[in-house]
Structure 1
Amino acid sequence: MLSADATRLAVWGDPIAHSRSPQLHTAAYALLGLPWTYERRRVSETQFGAALADTTETWRGLSLTMPLKHVAAKAATVLDRAAQLSGAVNTLVPGDAGIRGFNTDVAGLVAAIREQGIERAVHGTVLGAGATATSALLALEALGAREVEIRARRPDAAGHLVALGASLDLHVTAVPLDAPRTHPDARTDPALTIATLPGDAELPASVLDAVVVPGGLLVDVVYGSWPTPLAAAWEGAGGQAVSGLPMLLHQAVRQVRIFTTGDVDEPLPSESVIVASMRRALMED
């Protein structure tokens, strides 16, 4: 149980000045009538252990961004399923039984995709094989995909994703970014692609020809300038592209649930109103 005096929250990472989490969380707690504070703090991976040990009973919880998600997972006493499978934690909550760790990125990505009208994915494609690609794979599993193609600059770097897929009874293959497309056109077989590449990545024409699916949905999980070169090419081919902002919003909603009740699956009171306020705060930044 958290003390009633536990009113401090923050997002930690390095860099951290760009984080929009304070706007999102502050909007939610204002509507909930909670006098909590939520701040940014620059904490590097080497500083994390000491910073965590220095927290007191006034701390209600932490949001974590890169590069702290894996060290946060190791610091947690109990992990939710998404955190266990991904080895990444973006939410820490102290308690009498220890520190609980959550990965709300997966559920946030699922919610963002469903917001675009896709309730179930027949198959999915992930661009990139880094840390975020793991959450993307788990989101596709949650959407019911049974086949997932990982496209990466170095397909051999996707071995952990292939192994994770096998443990989940998913057929996961890893191919180069510019490998010929094997799935049908999205106009006859709706397709979903999740890009986890750097937002400023300049992709050669051979890669764009291979990855862009006319009529398909691209979720490009970046928060910076928009559209990215990939998103621009996607929309130019008649597809729909959305940024990572909806994912950021919905993962934060689940963090608010955790910080208020401890239950990631229990909706907030008047949650639709709170989500709308958080979305306005995000768009106003």
Structure 2
Amino acid sequence: MTLRAAVLGHPISHSKSPALHRAAYARLGMEMDYTAIDVTEDALPAFMAGVREDVRQVGSWRGLSVTMPLKTGMLKEVDEVRGVARALGVVNTVAVEPAAPGDTNGATRLVAYNTDVAGIVNALRYAGATSAPKAAVLGGGGTSAAAVAALKELDAPSADVFVRDVSRAAEAKAAAAAVGLPVQILPLGGAAAALAAADVVISTLPPRAADPLADDLAQLFGQRGSGSSLEAARPGVLLDVAYDPWPSRIAAAWQEAGGTVVPGLEMLIYQAVEQVRHFTGLGDAMPAEVIDVMCDAVGAPRRVF
């Protein structure tokens, strides 16, 4: 029997998850059909009912990667939420796992996780982010929740969260409260000086949404380099979760000023590694060379975990 897994979201045709996962399962010698499926929020309950029926009757489904706009709606469709996903109320992974002994609801359970946090932490650590960084987050939506939790894991004492609309940062605020990280919600306009002074900046904004801020940063960095009183150390580490188009304008401005830039593609790889571990049941026993082929599949440098 060919096993099944998929990435769900809307829209979803741009996703690189199929390339990453297919490379991993091929290297492991597993017959796992991993596809991208366009699912809206309204259609999610019916889709998940079908998954449950398959799990009960056939058993081909092994896992689901979950992207926007389904990361909170999926909470209602699973049997259990584990780890940081439970605190955040945001999931990106659903694994089909054996039920606990004595569970009378069936032989398997749908268990949700959030591997975005691990993806961000690993990406930043590999880039040289220091412990207890002075930190900032751009955006207040679902991915910002994972960013806040990742900063907590990096022992950041606090974080500034810059948003386009300060009245719409509920997910970032909830994440901060859940993990115990003090945050300050601030307007995105005028954020350039604070970002330039940060050790770590995580942009969770959609593609091109940070372009106006990139122009402000380019101007600020240009003034710094002109021998004026604004002369200062080079910028810290910027992780831009957007990866298409790449480089983004904010990434280009950051790198031009001598800062370290981490593309969202690296975060995507690292969170996908954790998903493969869940879907296969291999956990930490997964061979390191699987990560190599996943990097090769999307043209990313091979990383040491």
TM-score by length of 1: 0.86
- Number of matched pairs: 273
- Residue 211 of structure 1 and its aligned partner are, at CA, apart by 9.1
Match of 1:267 among 262, 266, 284: 284
* Higher mean C-alpha deviation, range 115-124 or range 143-152: 115-124
**Match status 1:14 vs 2:10:** yes
Q: In structure 2, what is the Cα distance between the partners aligned to 1:9 and 1:180?
A: 40
- Cα distance, 1:123 vs. partner? 2.4
Shift in Å, 1:155: 2.4
How far apart, CA to CA, are the structure 2 residues paired with 1:11 and 1:184? 33
- Matched residue type, 2:36: R
Q: Given that residues 96 and 279 in structure 2 are in contact (C-alpha distance below 8 angstroms), is that contact kept between their aligned partners in structure 1? A: no
Which residue is 2:35 aligned to? 39
Q: 1:211 to 1:138 in 2, by over 3 A?
A: farther
> Which runs of 4 or more aligned residues in structure 1 lie more than 6 Å from their structure 2 counterparts after TM superposition?
180-185, 209-213
Q: Is the 8 A contact 1:6 1:59 kept in 2?
A: no
Q: 2:155 maps to which residue?
A: 144
> In structure 1, how many angstroms separate the alpha carbons of the residues matched to 2:200 and 2:291?
25
Contact 2:119–2:268, Cα closer than 8 Å, also in 1: yes
Tell me the distance in 2 between the aligned counterparts of 1:90 and 1:232. 29
Sequence identity, in percent?
A: 38
Distance 1:184 1:13 in 2: 31
1:157-168 pair list within 5 angstroms: 157-168=168-179
Q: If you compute each CA radius of gyration, which structure gives the higher value, 1 or 2?
A: 2
SS for the counterpart of 1:134 is helix
User: Which of 93, 104, 108 is the equivalent residue of 2:119?
Assistant: 108
Contact 1:22 1:38 (8 Å CA) reproduced: yes
Match of 1:54 among 26, 35, 50: 50
Match in the other structure for 2:296: 280
Residues 18 and 159 of structure 1: CA distance in aligned 2, closer, same or farther (over 3 Å): closer
1:178–1:210 contact (8 Å) kept in structure 2: no
**Residue-by-residue CA offset, 1:127-147 (whole Å, 9 max, x unaligned):** 111111111101101111111
Give 1:174 deviation, angstroms.
1.3
1:52-91 matches, cutoff 5 A: 52-55=48-51, 56=54, 57-91=59-93
**Secondary structure, counterpart of 2:36 in structure 1:** strand
Work out the CA distance in 2 between the residues paired with 1:176 and 1:211: 18
Q: Tell me the residue number matched to 1:257.
A: 277
Q: 1:181 to 1:121 in 2, by over 3 A?
A: farther
Shift of 1:98: 2.8
Give the alignment of 1:110-189 within 5 angstroms.
110-118=121-129, 120-179=131-190
How far, CA to CA, are the matches of 2:203 and 2:133 in structure 1? 17
Separation in structure 2 between the aligned mates of residue 184 and residue 243 of structure 1, nearest angstrom: 17
> Cα 1:169–1:269, aligned 2, differ >3 Å: closer, same or farther?
closer
* Matched residue type, 2:27: L
Classify 1:166/1:181 alpha carbon distance in 2 versus 1 (closer, same or farther; 3 Å): farther
Partner Cα distance (1:155, 1:184) in 2: 17
One-letter code aligned to 1:198: P
Deviates more, 1:73-82 or 1:162-171: 162-171
Alignment of 1:89-100 (within 5 A): 89-95=91-97, 96=107, 98-100=109-111
Task: Tell me which amino acid in the other structure corresponds to 2:18.
Answer: P
Q: CA 1:240/1:103 → structure 2, altered by over 3 Å: closer, same or farther? A: same
Q: Does the Cα contact within 8 Å between 2:2 and 2:33 map onto a contact in 1?
A: no
Tell me, in whole angstroms, the C-alpha distance in 2 between the residues paired with 1:231 and 1:205: 8
2: distance between equivalents of 1:19 and 1:181? 30
